[in-house]
Amino acid sequence: MNLTLFSSLDWLALAVFVASWLAYTLFADHSRWSDKSLTNRINVYRERWMMEMVTRDLRMIDTTILGNLMTGIAFFASTAMLILGGIIALLGNPTLVTQSIKHLPYAVDSSPVVWEFKVLLLALIFVYAFFKFAWAFRLTNYCNIMVGSAPVKEADPIKLEQHAKRATKLSCRAGHHFNRGLRAFFFGSAALAWMFHPLALMLASLVVVIVLYRREFSSTALLVLQD
């Protein structure tokens, strides 16, 4: 690939996109502020759920909830595959697509090589999302097995607590990977803006970061879940 086909504005836009994704991930998942996130708050309720689960006589409600979670994860995984199918179709006739896009207002004219790179970037993002959803689905399935293998409520309390903590860790890891998959969907939407203009990619990247921050750290849902 001839890298000189990319303008300096394209490289800047790509750098802003990657930096926005990495910076938000570090902030939301690995900084000292991550404890205040909606995901972290939900993890507290995941632990309460599993502690309640081991004290129940019948755990049908727990397996039903996990089944519903698996259905939601499977939906996003299949959606990622459908999106990938559409992205691959775009590679079939890059010249026709680029000719169509350049007639849109403010759209830049890209060579077929640059267009293919942009499409491949989109494909890479949604492949990543699919793998995250697939792993979240598998971990949730394992959590279902943990519910089924939980000792009876009359068992040793220490044993019950240990089992609940193991199930909690699996559930939290499933939520973590599901969250990463959703984040890829958001940034994949931002990457789509690059098809029109590098400035659109930069703007979309910043908008996605703001939206994700508001959802994760200052949403009404977070306030509701606080004790």
Identify whether 225 is part of a domain: no
Could you state, in chain order, the average pLDDT of each consecutive group of 10 residues for the chain (227 residues)? 71 96 96 93 95 91 94 97 89 64 62 82 96 97 94 91 96 97 97 89 97 95 86
pLDDT of residue 209: 98
CB 38 within 8 A of CB 216: yes
What is the rounded distance in angstroms from the CA atom of residue 227 to the CA atom of residue 214?
A: 20
Tokens, residue 184: 């890829």
Identify whether 20 is part of a domain: yes
Identify whether 152 is part of a domain: yes
What backbone torsions phi and psi does residue 65 show, to the nearest 5 degrees? -60, -45
Q: What is the pTM assigned to this prediction?
A: 0.91
Identify whether 224 is part of a domain: no
What backbone torsions phi and psi does residue 188 show, to the nearest 5 degrees? -65, -35
The 3-class secondary structure across 175-220, one letter per residue, is HHHHHHHHHHHHHHHHHHHHHCCHHHHHHHHHHHHHHHHHHHHCCH
pLDDT of residue 95: 63
Identify whether 201 is part of a domain: yes
Domain residues for 193? 3-28+38-218
What is the rounded distance in angstroms from the CA atom of residue 152 to the CA atom of residue 149?
A: 9
- How many structural domains is the chain composed of? 1
Contacts of 192 (CB under 8 A, 6+ apart): 122, 204
